[in-house]
Chain A
């Protein structure tokens, strides 16, 4: 590939998505379910949303629970990420101040 086109590929290399995107997607799914007057609880999604075509009713509940569980995991990950990041930054600042003395 020509050098210039290679540079374009480098310039348009994929970016990391914001860490909160996953949790925000699940939150918007939850809001959408509420807006459609479906009862939304974290423990179970409404019956009209089925993840994979062809699932029978006996599998639908398990699938819905998995989606809810994955959503909870995403929120947990986000909460822990903020916590760990802030704690680490504080530790770094303390360490830097101690080294300055």
Chain B
């Protein structure tokens, strides 16, 4: 057991100070995916982006405010042509980090029918939100989002329809999925 934990720790590729460490084995999934989003923005890159966000543009000012307290944003999203291209073991190192006292799962939605599983976690630091993580596992899609730093989830949600980010209609019926 101890040996397994040791190996798991070695396999995690630290990317500077970040909320969760994204395992390096996720990189090999890119070769099998039809579409990949791979974004790594540490504090330096976020500061660079912030310098070019205009205070005069409402949308950009909103984003600038949102990212002001962040230390990093990390996204790995893979779409596959067919199910079975990734395993639970690929995701387990991420889950293991989220099942620690610092993190609380605030939403968990699972569909037995479609096999979709979506989870949202918040990290608390000194009584404030210090990170947000989203884990979406679907038969043909895997998405991991890690946001490290002070974040307001409501401000994040309000970005839909602004800054080139499409607004998803949350009122539409999906016809699938039930609360866990």
Q: Indicate if the CB atoms of A94 and B109 lie closer than 8 Å.
A: yes
Q: Indicate if the CB atoms of B170 and A95 lie closer than 8 Å.
A: yes
Give the size category of A's interface with B: 35 or more
Q: Indicate if the CB atoms of B52 and A83 lie closer than 8 Å.
A: no
Dominant secondary structure at the A interface: helix
Interface 1/0s, chain A 62-101, versus B by CB < 8 A?
Answer: 0000101110110111111111111111111111111110
Q: Which of B39, B53, B111, B134 contacts A86 (CB 8 A)?
A: B134
Tell me if B49 counts as interface (CB < 8 A to partner A): yes
6 contacts between A and B (CB under 8 A): A72-B41, A75-B41, A83-B134, A84-B160, A85-B165, A91-B157
Q: Which of A43, A84, A90 contacts B48 (CB 8 A)?
A: A43
B contact residues around A72 at 8 Å (CB): 41, 45-46, 48-49, 52
Q: Which of A69, A87, A98 contacts B156 (CB 8 A)?
A: A87
In the complex, residue of chain B having the shortest beta-carbon distance to the beta carbon of A88: B168
Tell me if B166 counts as interface (CB < 8 A to partner A): yes
Q: Which of B75, B147, B165, B178 contacts A97 (CB 8 A)?
A: B178
Q: Which of A18, A80, A83, A96 contacts B174 (CB 8 A)?
A: A96
Q: Which of A18, A84, A89 contacts B118 (CB 8 A)?
A: A89
Tell me if B9 counts as interface (CB < 8 A to partner A): no
A contact residues around B88 at 8 Å (CB): none
**Given A87-B156, A93-B118, A78-B49 contact (CB < 8 Å):** no
**Given A75-B45, A79-B75, A87-B120, A94-B179 contact (CB < 8 Å):** yes
| Whole-angstrom CA separation of A20 from B166 in the bound complex | 13
In the complex, residue of chain B having the shortest beta-carbon distance to the beta carbon of A27: B38
Q: Indicate if the CB atoms of A91 and B37 lie closer than 8 Å.
A: no
Q: Which of A73, A75, A99, A100 contacts B53 (CB 8 A)?
A: A73
